[in-house]
Structure 1
Amino acid sequence: MNLAKISESWPTVQPSAFKGKDLLRIDEFSGDELLYLLQSALHLKQLQKSGQQYEPLKGKTLGMIFDKASTRTRVSFEVGMYQLGGMGMFLSGKELQLGRGEPISDTAQVLSRYIDAIMIRTYSHADVEQLAKYASIPIINGLTDMFHPCQALADMMTILEHKGRLQGVKLAYVGDGNNVANSLVLAAALLGVDVSVAAPPGYNMSEEIVKTAQQYADESGASLTFTDDPVQAVTGADAIYTDVWTSMGFEAENEVRLKAFQGYQIDQQLARHAAADYIFLHCLPAHRGEEVAADIIDGRHSVVFDQAENRLHAQKAVLAAVI
Structure 2
Amino acid sequence: MTPRRDKESDGQKLHQSVLLDAAVDFLVSDSNGNYIDCTFGRGGHSRLILGRLGENGHLLGIDKDPEAIGFASELAAEDARFSVFHGSFAELAQAADEQGWPAVDGVLMDLGVSSPQLDDATRGFSFMRQGPLDMRMNPQQGMSAAEWLASADEKDIADVIWRYGEERFSRRIARAIIGRREEEPLVTTRDLAELVSSAVPKKEKHKHPATRTFQAIRIYINRELEDLEAGLEAAVERLAAGGRLVVISFHSLEDRIVKRFMRDLARGPQLPRGLPVTASEAESQFRLVGKAIKADVAEVSDNVRARSAVMRVLERRAQHQGEGA
* Larger Rg belongs to: 2
TM-score, structure 1 length as denominator?
A: 0.40
TM-score calculated relative to the size of structure 2 = 0.40
